[in-house]
Amino acid sequence: MFNKHNIEIKAKVDNPDFIRKILRELSAEFRGIDHQIDTYFKARQGRLKIREGNIENYLIYYERENKKTPKKSDLILCEINNNLKNTFHKAFNIMCVVRKKREIYFIDNIKFHIDNVAKLGSFVEIEAMFTTPNNIDAYKQVEKFMKLFNIKNDSIIKCSYSDMLTNEISNSYHLRILRIVDKLKNSFGTAYNQYKHFSSFFLSK
């Protein structure tokens, strides 16, 4: 088990190749492509998830503000095995499952993710890791790469993929309910018009 502290951002991107090109030009170390399944569990505070991938496999607890600027993230990571995974699946309620393909790059203490997330699309994450109480340099590093990647404030995502996916599912559910209600209204409207027609016919006799 180990602790980790980041200053980080997540942003929606339309052209991941542009990010890849810059990272190659900067001779970033490519660690590989990780096909990850993140299972989020309901927690009293913060976020709790099990990550299963071909590169990274951890139980992760983290606390992070939801805001559209570079933000501090405090994490506790623990390596997982099947017994631990099965215990969590039995003991905790699953909130959400996020599936993604993640490209992992490093430049010194900065970790970069280019993500393709099922049902959500393409994103980039910049994580500047720091070990001292003074994290000003980490903020500056994130802001520097935001400029290099041409990331605008309105493309920054303030929440986690789990929040985005949960909202997407909720919105989809509400849309389905609204469509059903509209169909019922139309059906009842048709039935009511038929009733009026037949009623007027018999009353006229």
Task: Identify the pLDDT of residue 174.
Answer: 43
Residue 71 DSSP SS3: strand
Over its C-alpha atoms, the chain yields an Rg (Å, rounded) of: 24
Separation in Å, CA 188 to CA 175, 197, 200, 202: 20, 14, 18, 21
What number of other Cβ atoms are within 10 A of residue 117's Cβ? 18
Separation in Å, CA 169 to CA 11, 14, 53, 92, 111: 20, 22, 24, 21, 30
What number of other Cβ atoms are within 10 A of residue 83's Cβ? 8
Among candidate residues 11, 141, 136, 149, the one with its CA nearest the CA of residue 69: 11
- pLDDT truncated to tens, each residue of the chain (205 aa)? 889 999 999 999 999 999 999 999 999 999 999 999 999 999 999 999 999 999 999 999 999 999 999 999 999 999 999 999 999 999 999 999 999 999 999 999 999 999 999 999 999 999 999 987 778 899 999 999 999 999 998 999 999 999 999 887 544 444 455 556 566 666 665 555 555 555 554 455 5
Q: Can you tell me the distance from the alpha carbon of 111 to that of 105, in angstroms, rounded to the nearest whole number?
A: 6
Q: Do 112 and 126 meet the contact criterion of CB atoms below 8 Å apart? A: yes
Domain ranges for the chain, please list them. Answer: 2-158
Q: Six-digit token pair at 23? A: 């990272």
End-to-end alpha carbon distance in the chain: 86
Among candidate residues 109, 122, 118, the one with its CA nearest the CA of residue 20: 122
Q: Can you tell me the distance from the alpha carbon of 112 to that of 8, in angstroms, rounded to the nearest whole number?
A: 10
Residues in the chain: 205
Instruction: Tell me the β-bridge partners of 39.
Output: 50, 97
Estimate to the nearest angstrom the gap between the alpha carbon of 54 and the chain centroid: 19
Residue 116 DSSP SS3: strand
Strands 121-129 and 2-12: antiparallel
CATH number of 2-158: 2.40.320.10
